[in-house]
Amino acid sequence: MKFLDEAKVFIRSGDGGAGAVSFRREKFVEFGGPDGGDGGRGGDVWVEAVNGLNTLIDYRFQQHYKAGTGIHGMGRNRTGANGASVTLKVPVGTQIFEEDNETLIIDMVTEGQRFRLAAGGNGGFGNAYFKSSTNQAPDWANPGLPGQEKTIWLRLKLIADAGLVGLPNAGKSTFLATVTRARPKIANYPFTTLHPNLGVATIDGREFILADIPGLIDGAHEGVGLGDRFLGHVERTRVLLHLVSAQEENVGQAYKTVKHELNAYGGGLEDKPEIVALSQIDVLDQAEIKKKAKELQKACGKPPLLLSAAAHMGMTEALRALRDVIVESAGETALPDRSQHPAENADTDEDDA
């Protein structure tokens, strides 16, 4: 299944049914009077956040959604049936924007959340509604009100607790594949990761969601490489794990390049808690590791973690560091008891969108 995080959709709610003009005509009933029923209400257009989705690919193949029209009223005081409503099912974390793609309508951040995007038109009153002591034979009825129509944008921002950022080939996908059961594509060339991946990691009995996005390069905020279009998927995270490959000749510059792109993007990423790690240390000897760790510390202002996903070195420490920030930001006071909850990998909802 392809990953799609933005879609343009046209929606239209149903028109209301017209009221009926009818008079009761029965044998031996001299003054039957009006008996025209009301029209049915048009269907609504709803949006609902559901579990099990992490892409908007369904809206690539269908861009028009129209609710049912209300049925007209009929004689014998019969009210028309309401039109069928339509529900757009979207992943949790989807934002709905007006046609200008800037005005936010609703942010679907919780599973089961529903919102009415377009209300159906009310049905018209039949002539029986207008009967009174002074007007006992009205010969008119109301037409149904028209529905609403608009074009909207759906924009997905994945819900994750922690995000992985770094240059291409910094080891982000390998880290994700090692600590979760997600299976992102891994290869030794830039931009192997072309779209975000999610995985669920477990450490000391505590689960949290990791998001891996395509690598950033210098000028990404101006559209260079894959640009910064996927940075929105780490806007909601509570902490960033910034991986800098030990294979970089200048690890300090590599860190500053990505940090500059995060700051240029904005969206709160510049102020988000960050854990810096020197990755892929299995390819260097101890002297080189120590040297590059000092260079990276000078650039980021704090001692970096040392890890290698391929060799399973430093992974537990990195996961615990992420967990501590997540727990703190959630306002929790107690950490899980490690003796009762051994660390284990957890499954992800979906390997790949």
At 166, phi and psi to the nearest 5? 155, 175
- DSSP letters for 164-212: EEESTTSSHHHHHHHHSS------SSTT---S-EEEEEEETTEEEEEEE
Q: Is 285 annotated as a binding residue?
A: no
User: Is residue 22 annotated as involved in ligand binding?
Assistant: no
309 is in an annotated binding site: yes
Whole-angstrom distance, CA of residue 285 vs CA of residue 12 = 64
The annotation status of 130 as a binding-site residue, yes or no, is no
Q: Known binder of ligand: residue 280?
A: yes
Cα separation, 57 vs 64, in Å, equals 14
The answer to whether 188 is a known ligand-binding residue is no
138 is in an annotated binding site: no
- 215 marked ligand binding residue: yes
N residues, the chain: 353
Q: Is 51 annotated as a binding residue?
A: no
Known binding residue 152? Answer is no
**Residue 310 marked in a binding site:** yes
Is 82 annotated for ligand binding? no
Contact predicate 243/259, CB 8 Å: no
Q: How many CB atoms lie within 10 A of CB 97?
A: 18
Given strand 45-50, what is the order of strands in its sheet?
A: 86-91, 45-50, 114-118
Is 168 annotated as contributing to ligand binding?
yes
Report whether 213 belongs to an annotated binding site: yes
Whether 212 has a binding-site annotation, put simply, is yes
Please indicate if the annotation marks 106 as binding a ligand.
no
DSSP 129: G
97 is in an annotated binding site: no
- Asked whether residue 105 is marked as a ligand-binding residue, the answer is no
Q: How far is CA 299 from CA 41, 86, 218, 296, 353, in A?
A: 64, 53, 16, 5, 35
User: Helices 286-300 and 251-265, interaxial angle, to 10°?
Assistant: 30
Nearest CA among 211, 263, 202, 206 for reference residue 236: 211
What are the binding residues? 166-173, 191-195, 212-215, 279-282, 308-310
What are the binding residues for GTP? 166-173, 191-195, 212-215, 279-282, 308-310
What are the binding residues for Mg(2+)? 173, 193
